[in-house]
A and B are shown apart, each in its own frame.
Chain A
Amino acid sequence: MTALRAIISVLALVAGVAGLLIPQPEVFAFSSSAALVAFVVGCGAVAADALPLRRVPLACSVATLPLAVLLFRPFSVAPIAFAILALQVVAYGAARRAGPAVAAAVRA
């Protein structure tokens, strides 16, 4: 589900930039909103990566959830947000590599 990963990536990017540019606690408005949506969309990404099973993307999606919870706090916003972004990049690359095999499995 590239669309879900793209949404999470954009949210993480916005939160990360906000974390760098906006002081505490004003940054909480951005980080908490991004965290809320990232958590909900991340739940969808976990389901998408579980069926059919794609190990690396699934691990990245699962790891996104606790990081999204941490993003609720107005501390260390930028590192957490960029960690989430990095997870999405890793998951996207792994999903692309596994793409043909998964498609064949679905068709079978």
Chain B
Amino acid sequence: MAAPADPARLVRRLRIALVGVAMLLGLTLVLVLGVLFYWNAYLLGDRGEDPFTRGPYVVGLSETTASVRLLGPDPARVALTAVAPDGTEVEASPTGDFTGLAPGTRYLWTAAVDGIGQASGSFRTAPDDPDAEVVFGVIADYGSGSEHQYAVGRGLDAIDPAFVLTAGDNSYLLALPQLLDRNIFRPLRGVMGEAQLVVGLGDHDTFATDGRFLVEAVESPGDGLRYTYDYGPVRVVVLGVDEDPATIAFAKAELAKPWDGPRFAVLHTPLQPGDALNGVLKGKVDAVFSGHLHRCERRVVDGVLVIVAGCGGQGPGDEAFTLESGDAAFSTLDYGFVRVTASRTGSAIETIDESGRVRDRVEVPPR
């Protein structure tokens, strides 16, 4: 390569090249900073953290009242408001209780923290019309935090239930306070913002804790083991974990009370032929909802319709121990929930899987 004839000219060319490289560097810097700015401002933009560590979730609905609970922000910063379709606005008390509501009305609620709406949902107050139709969901053996449970929770939310009944084993392996959000409140957050979770306890819930942490969280009546829940024309008698003298006594006492509308019972352990409870329930309830067996099943046991909703999310550990009942008219291991459409003219009970397909349906005539 020959030496340049004019070193000054070479230096000038090198300077021009250096200037070009410097400008290219500047352009690159502008592009990189532009991308970072766009990324931060529009793609990673801060939408704010969810201020709620639990809920808001509905713990009570009557014809004229509703109760919504939440955990997280200082209650003084939270304003809960419910609005009726006609625009009537109701402010909740500091504890989250609405009063003076209209029966059978869907209210849109908003939880604002420091004036910013951070959560919204809706609930329907219980109807005062004895002929009203009520739709509710049933799940059991669900509290695992699994993706199936989340799917079941979304399905429940989609059917727009008035309330959701659980037939036990709400939290695996135990109903410890540290597990409740993972196993119950997060997977079911959507539906629990719109419908009360009417909790029946199972053996996993009561083991070691008697289910008291769960009972306190959802504000079940009494000790949460046995109680009666009414929503409009529907009555649910929650009988506890399994058949024992206390369960039978409670069932006899509650079922002796007259009830004109649809009436259902919840017992975690499914009835078996020959159980003493069968005679108490026969003709007094439209169906008994159970869990324990991690299947969804429909059976008739000594004249009592038994709906097992044990496919709520935990799933079968070992299929060898999760066998279909011999007298089952329908049985599946697939995850899902039960939808009940109840009225004085009869009820329809459907098992819906996590894909949204109706897998079983039974019409229940009025008692």
Contacts and interface: CB of A to CB of B under 8 A. Distances in A.
Interface stretch (A12-20, A23-31, A44-52, A89-97): A44-52
Given A36-B30, A39-B30, A40-B27, A106 B11 contact: yes
Interface string B22-52: 1101110110000000000000000000000
Given A1-B15, A39-B30, A46-B22, 18 more contacts: A36-B30, A40-B26, A40-B27, A43-B25, A43-B26, A43-B27, A43-B29, A44-B19, A44-B20, A44-B22, A44-B26, A45-B19, A47-B18, A47-B22, A48-B22, A51-B18, A106-B11, A107-B7
A1 B350 CA distance: 83
A67 interface: no
A39 B23 CA distance: 8
Nearest to B26: A43
Interface residues of A, number: 16
B3 interface: no
Chain B contact residues, majority secondary structure: helix
Interface string A31-75: 000001001111111111001000000000000000000000000
Report, as a range, how many residues of chain B touch the other chain.
Answer: 10 to 19
B116 interface: no
Contacts of B158: none
Contacts, number: 42
Contacts of A83: none
A48 B19 CA distance: 6
Contacts of B25: 43
A4 interface: yes
30 contacts: A1-B15, A1-B19, A4-B19, A39-B26, A39-B30, A40-B23, A40-B27, A42-B26, A43-B23, A43-B27, A43-B29, A44-B19, A44-B20, A44-B22, A44-B23, A44-B26, A46-B22, A47-B18, A47-B21, A47-B22, A47-B23, A48-B18, A48-B19, A48-B22, A51-B15, A51-B18, A106-B8, A106-B11, A107-B7, A107-B8
A41 B23 CA distance: 6
Contacts of B8: 106-107
